[in-house]
Amino acid sequence: MTARICAVPNCGNPAASDYSPHCKRHKSALRRHGAPDQRGITKAELAPFTARIEARIAKNPDSEAWTLMEAAWATIVAEAKSTASHRIGNRYQRSAANEIAAIALDCAPGEVTVTVLGMVLFWHDRPLRFASDEALRVQIARRVRALSQRHVGLRYEHRTGQHVRVYREMTPKAAGTVGRKLLTAFGGVGLQLAALDERDRKAEQEAKLRLATALSNLK
């Protein structure tokens, strides 16, 4: 048994092996979430941020920005399909390409862009929720992949006599690649939308302050 201790601060559990710097739990978190101390972003956590994106779209329904972002996603999908069809090349790139192609079969472009932009808003407002840049990329990939059901299957459980849902995990490198492509395509737009939100909040606060001042000056 290894005498090494997990490298994550305040963990104290033994390392998974002599060759691993992390215990089994943190090694699994690194593989699934992009960092040993990263917790997965849930749909409920993301919901307020995607709602803000949807509100911005509803406020500007005729903006060409949304069409251009859907076109950018279409380009990513087309490139992925081309890569996935190659029999030679980097297997991690092919794995990421297959993930993107599968997502595109199930999900409308608008769903994908709203999810990615919501994740960027989340990161902008709560950067400490993400343990690293790689964790951000992996979490983006996981939340977009969760829009599709093609990685979900059923397994018969003999003990209970029932079918249970099972989830096929992305490889860490494939998840990082998918997240990197999405963040490159939509990260800048997400930050601009975050700036618009801050502008609107500031204007609302100033309006409330002016009203309070006006009321205080009443005789």
CA distance 119 to 144: 10
Q: What is the pLDDT of residues 10-62, one digit of tens each?
A: 888 998 888 889 899 999 999 899 999 999 999 999 999 999 999 999 999 99
pTM, two decimal places: 0.85
Question: Tens digit of pLDDT for each residue in 129-138?
Answer: 999 999 999 9
Q: Where are the domains of the chain?
A: 1-37, 39-216
Q: Which residues have a Cβ under 8 Å from the Cβ of 1 and sit 6 or more positions away?
A: 14
- Whether the CB-CB separation of 194 and 124 falls below 8 Å is answered with yes
Q: Scan for tokens 């390392």, then name that residue.
A: 15
CA distance 143 to 134: 14
pLDDT at 4 exceeding the cut of 80: yes
Are 191 and 154 spatial neighbours (Cβ–Cβ below 8 Å)? no
